[in-house]
Amino acid sequence: MIKSYKFRRHFTNAITYIILAVLGLIWISPLVYLVLHSFRADGGVSYPYLVPKQFTFQNYVELFTQSKWLNPAASGSSSVDFPKWFMNTFVVAIFSCIISTLAVLMVSYAFSRLRFKARKPLINVGMILGMFPGFMTMIAIYYLLKAIGLDKTLVALVICYSAGAGLGYQISKGFFDTIPRALDEAATIDGATKNQVFWKIILPMSKPIVVYTVLTSFIGPWTDFILAKIIMQDKLDNYTVAIGLQKMIAADMITQHFKHFLAGSVIVAVPITILFLFMQRYYVEGVTAGGVKG
């Protein structure tokens, strides 16, 4: 009897292992394909084998050397300029990261720890604003930027990424809510102003959420392509990596740049993937904060 129970358990476990292995293979194989083929030496867009026959670093080397930026004479290789796009994205990410982190922390601290008359209405307005489809406003934003002469610039991108950042206050508000209010009260009795409470008590206690906010707002510009595309239109010099990579596989460029696209994707995806794996705990907390009860 005991033997058969053991056997059954082993049997179901073996089946589970097999199913998990097959599913895991399905899930990971496109990414393996991406990495393998980014090192592919032969063939063009369509390639009749799943595993490349010849490997090379050439795709990565070309991505970073054959650009207008480093080598003005190389204008022949169309207008793909990955190093420039990379720097653009990096600069935009740094600035929008600083501004939006500040905005998010300020709004969430105000909503979480301070009590004032307009608090509830403002929270409701924020919730309603978040429900409109974001694409609806983008075209208007473009004309607004055009009216103030900032269209197709990196400054516009920084403004757009950080302007609405304050609306994403929920996760850090949830975190601030968990810090006991007795701490604030004790500090206030000792004569601290609310400004001091914010900088000297709440922020040092909230390192994890600050790190999370910094990282998410840093990653944002690397992955967004809709807003960047609308703002930049055809100005290739100011492209970010996301729209740049999408441009590489447009119909007129794909034959020349498909392998560069794969290599560029790997370069962008690897750091972001690693960062995300470290932050996944906060990600789950953030998604479930408003969405799951119990």
CB of 65 vs other proteins, minimal distance in Å: 22
CB of 142 vs other proteins, minimal distance in Å: 9
Task: Answer for the pair 159, 150: CB distance below 8 angstroms, yes or no.
Answer: yes
Q: Which one among 4, 72, 76, 143 touches other proteins, defined by CB under 8 A?
A: 143
Residues 6+ apart with CB under 8 A from 166: 103, 104, 106, 107, 126
Q: Which one among 85, 86, 95, 109 touches other proteins, defined by CB under 8 A?
A: 109
Q: Which one among 63, 80, 165, 209 touches other proteins, defined by CB under 8 A?
A: 165
- Check residue 152 for interaction with other proteins (CB under 8 A): no
Looking at the DSSP bridge assignments, the partners of residue 55 are 40
- What is the C-alpha separation between 220 and 217, in angstroms, rounded? 5
Closer by beta carbon to other proteins, 68 or else 238: 238
Q: Which one among 210, 249, 253, 256 touches other proteins, defined by CB under 8 A?
A: 249
Q: Which one among 63, 97, 110, 202 touches other proteins, defined by CB under 8 A?
A: 110
Task: Answer for the pair 205, 89: CB distance below 8 angstroms, yes or no.
Answer: no
Q: Which one among 1, 2, 73, 140 touches other proteins, defined by CB under 8 A?
A: 140
- Check residue 144 for interaction with other proteins (CB under 8 A): yes
Of the candidate spans 47-55, 88-96, 171-179, 207-215, the one that interacts with other proteins by CB under 8 A turns out to be: 47-55
- Check residue 258 for interaction with other proteins (CB under 8 A): yes
Taking CB under 8 A as the criterion, which residues in 176-215 touch other proteins? 193-195, 198
- What is the C-alpha separation between 228 and 235, in angstroms, rounded? 11
Number of Cβ within a 10 Å radius of residue 21: 10
Closer by beta carbon to other proteins, 43 or else 74: 43
Of the candidate spans 81-89, 90-98, 172-180, 286-294, the one that interacts with other proteins by CB under 8 A turns out to be: 286-294
Closer by beta carbon to other proteins, 11 or else 70: 11
